[in-house]
Amino acid sequence: MLPRSRGIVFFRIHQLAWLVGIPLILATNLLAEPIHSNVVCREDLSQERRNELAGKLRQITGWPDLKFDRSGVLRVGTASPVGGSPTARELVAKTIYGKNVVVLEDASKHSDVAFCRVLPGKWKDDSSSRPPAHVVQIDFSDFEQVLGDEQALQSFNVAWALLHEFEHVVNDSPDAASFGETGECEAHINQMRRECNLPQRADYFYTLLPLSKDSAFVTRLVRLAFDQEQPAANKKRRYWVLWDANAVGGLDARKQIAALR
């Protein structure tokens, strides 16, 4: 979801994550339940974090029974949705029932993970019969460092980050390549925000706060804009989230400064 070396938020890189121990977990759960799910937590993702993630996904999707089961497998349940985003439900269903396996990993306080990212997974036994696998690494601690307007914070949390990575995995949607764009991936996520009546992300790339440029201070504050349409007034209202990129990671000072010019 989030910026790393290119100063972006929510993004992907190309390296491998080994799925040690995951094949057994998946096989067990896929056989134990009549309805398959291709989304599963690694054991190191705590119950508290699973609950946090599921709770925010329930708000976005409107599925009241969505949860991780006792084995860490994501289930949407059987209850009908109440509110929420139909587009988000479509994406989650496509991820759970699709051809890819998605493993969720707690990467909190990893210096090389800014918020969230997805890596191609490689099965330990390297069997050609295995489905394509992806590992989503989530840095929960980064989200705890984000400040800002309440409306924008509701549009920028760990569940939105996960949906961003699902979008990469399922639809192979690219991120923005240049400044001033949201990119195809976030455009799809913005549609979900609209359906939840939340502000939409205005840009894929964050920017340094003006006071932070060339600052001698240890903190390096960056910000990201979200716009809420005001149909009655025929205009938009802007909200912000901000964080210290030195603490979260993902800051490339040279490219960020270039982007500000």
> Nearest approach, Cβ of 77 to Zn ion (angstroms)?
28
User: What track of x and - describes contact with Zn ion for positions 7 through 46 (by CB under 5 A)?
Assistant: ---xx-----------------------------------
Shortest reach from residue 148's CB to Zn ion, in Å = 20
Residue nearer to Zn ion on the CB measure, 68 or 205? 205
Taking CB under 5 A as the rule, which mask of x and - marks residues 180-219 in contact with Zn ion?
Answer: -----x----------------------------------
- Shortest distance (Å) from residue 208 CB to Zn ion: 20
Task: Answer for the pair 77, 65: CB distance below 8 angstroms, yes or no.
Answer: yes
24: CB partners within 8 A, 6+ apart = none
CB of 10 to Zn ion, least distance (A): 4
> Can residue 175 be called a binding residue for Zn ion (CB under 5 A)?
yes
The 8-class DSSP code of residue 211 comes to: G
Beta carbon of residue 252, minimum distance to Zn ion (angstroms, whole number)? 16
Is residue 125 exposed (0-12), middle (13-18) or buried (19+ Cβ within 10 Å)? exposed
Which residues in the 212-241 window bind Zn ion by CB under 5 A? Answer: none
Question: Residue type at 259?
Answer: A
Give CA–CA dist 18/27, Å, rounded: 17
> CB-wise, 136 or 185, nearer to Zn ion?
185
Query: In this complex, which beta carbon is closest to Zn ion, that of residue 68 or of residue 115?
Result: 115
Q: Which residues pair with 225 in a beta bridge?
A: 240
CB nearer to Zn ion: give 10 or 243: 10
Residue that the structure tokens 């500000």 belong to: 260
| Shortest spacing between CB 134 and Zn ion, in angstroms | 13
Stretch that binds Zn ion, among 88-96, 173-181, 221-229, 236-244 (CB under 5 A): 173-181
CA atoms within 13 A on the CB side of 129: 2
Torsion on CA atoms 57, 61, 62, 67, rounded to nearest 10 = -40
Contact present, 38 and 95 (Cβ < 8 Å): yes
Please tell me whether residue 101 adopts helix, strand or coil conformation. strand
**Residues found near Zn ion in the complex (CB under 5 A):** 10-11, 175, 185
